[in-house]
Amino acid sequence: MLTDAQRKFYEEALKTTKQEIHDLENQIQEELAKVKQKIADLQSAQKASRQMYDAACQRLGIPNDLEEESNQS
């Protein structure tokens, strides 16, 4: 059986750790959103570079070796 002081201690620990868990979950979600945005930005830049590469290959009259690589993947 818990004393009043012990009960108060554990109730406060519960409240504090529950808030910590909530705060950490929020931080995780914020960081995940940043990572997803960074990946989207990188994919967009990669797509633009591939388009430029493809155009350069066409102008030079050579096959686009990157296109062949992506078809094999």
- Residue 11 backbone dihedrals phi, psi, to 5 degrees: -65, -40
Domain enclosing residue 29, as ranges: 4-72
Q: How far apart are CA 5 and CA 1, in angstroms?
A: 12
Tens digit of each residue's pLDDT (9 = 90 or more) over 9-62: 999 999 999 999 999 999 999 999 999 999 999 999 999 999 999 999 999 999
Taking the mean position of all CA atoms in its chain, how far away is CA 42? Answer: 12
Against a cut of 0.85, is the pTM above it? no
How many domains is the chain built from? 1
